[in-house]
Amino acid sequence: MIATVSVEARLHPRFTVDARADLIGEEVVLSRPLADISLGGCRFGEPAWEAAGTAVQIVLTFPSLHANLPLSGRVVRATDHDMGLRFENLSDEQKWALRKHIRDVQRDES
């Protein structure tokens, strides 16, 4: 069986950083660690608690930066192993802040 990956899934490189997320969807889930993050979305390395297609509100927390970033997203993958979100409708300010936080956390961790 060949798995297909959309072109959008490959637009942004993924990074492993120290970040957590609070999510509000069908469930309210607090302080879940991210498996990885990109400018296009993020992945949680644990069984999905939301169904694919669910719209969510997210607050990303970057502990080493003492920074929080509220975003909107949608669950694009929900399996027994992980859950992937795509960020949606980001403003230019949110895109700038996300890029900055990812870069700053990587710098601090190296």
pLDDT one-digit tens code per residue, 42-55: 999 999 999 999 99
pLDDT < 50 regions, the chain: 1-7, 9
The pairing of beta strand 28-33 with beta strand 20-24: antiparallel
The CA angle 69-88-104, to the nearest 5 degrees, is 35
For the chain, what are the domain ranges?
A: 12-105
Could you please state the CATH topology (level 3) that the domain comprising 12-105 is classified under.
Thrombin, subunit H (2.40.10)
CB 53 within 8 A of CB 32: no
Q: Are 65 and 101 in contact (CB under 8 A)?
A: yes
pLDDT of residue 7: 46
Q: Three-state DSSP class for 95?
A: helix
- The total number of residues shown for the chain amounts to 110
